[in-house]
A = this chain, B = another copy of it.
Amino acid sequence: MNGPDQIHAPIPCSDCGIYQLCLPTSIGQADVDLLDKIVKNRRIFKRGDYLYRLNHPFQSVYAIRSGSVKTYVLMDDGRLQITGFHIAGELLGLSAVNTRVYSCEARALETTSVCEIPFDRLEELGQQVPSLQYQMLRIMSREIAHNQELMLLLGRKNAEERLATYLISLSSRFAKRSYSATEFNLSMSRGDIGNYLGMAEETVCRVLARFEQEGLIAMQRRLVRLKDVDRLSAVARGNGKSESPAELVG
């Protein structure tokens, strides 16, 4: 039987038999550099370039060295849904497959350098790269927790709470890799943010403007500075409106 810290090979989709994987997960800048050194398969993408563009999954995982990437799915009715933004230090695979998805794509938001890792080397690399020693199961488990958080966000939170949550989340992701956690570049457009958070582009603008007026943030085009993280966190948690936590009985 397996030890708990081994990497498992990816598993095929139980419906279609094709491999799938989900791991928009942070492994840290150091381990990305390490991977880059071992794998020697560096690639550069320019803004708008596709990292992949597929009707179905895929052969590689990408460790982002610098820059940023958005992933999204195209639904069978033509709608586009952004599933995540990924920044330096993070591992990028493919988000889950479901029947209504026509194609999964990932494209660079700015000039982006990645290390492309073929699937069949993942196991071997797990021996050498500390953060990959977390097995897939653990990584996926984190992904599920993250999605549940996001579901709460989409189902319950209003525009201000969503955007505050988003900024705080970005901030902590930047913090993990020793960039500034309070001043960073939103490489994605307002429209992208709106799509991701389930609100109109105009609302994103208006709420950001409101945050600025209230002294929570400072903005200059796509550069944000969080001026009052505490208060912003409070907004993200939904303080302000007095929520009655009605304990429902089934």
Contact = CB atoms under 8 A, between A and B. Distances in A.
Interface of A: 1-2, 4, 6, 8-9, 11, 13-14, 20, 22, 47-48, 70, 75, 77-83, 95-98, 100, 107-109, 123, 134-138, 140-152, 154-156, 187-189, 191-192, 195, 197-198, 237-238, 243, 245-250
- Top 6 A-B residue pairs of the complex, sorted by shortest distance between their CB atoms: A155-B198, A78-B245, A96-B145, A154-B154, A154-B155, A147-B147
B189 A250 contact: yes
B141 A141 contact: no
26 contacts: A8-B137, A14-B134, A22-B141, A22-B144, A47-B250, A48-B249, A70-B250, A78-B243, A82-B248, A83-B148, A95-B148, A96-B141, A96-B148, A98-B148, A100-B149, A137-B137, A140-B140, A147-B147, A147-B151, A151-B151, A151-B154, A154-B154, A154-B155, A155-B197, A155-B198, A192-B248
A202 to B, nearest CB: 14
Contacts of A75: 152
A234 to B, nearest CB: 11
B134 A248 contact: no
Nearest to A98: B145
Contacts of A142: 14
A188 B14 contact: no
Contacts of A192: 248, 250
A13 B137 CA distance: 10
Nearest to A78: B245
Nearest to A243: B79
A45 to B, nearest CB: 11
A16 to B, nearest CB: 12
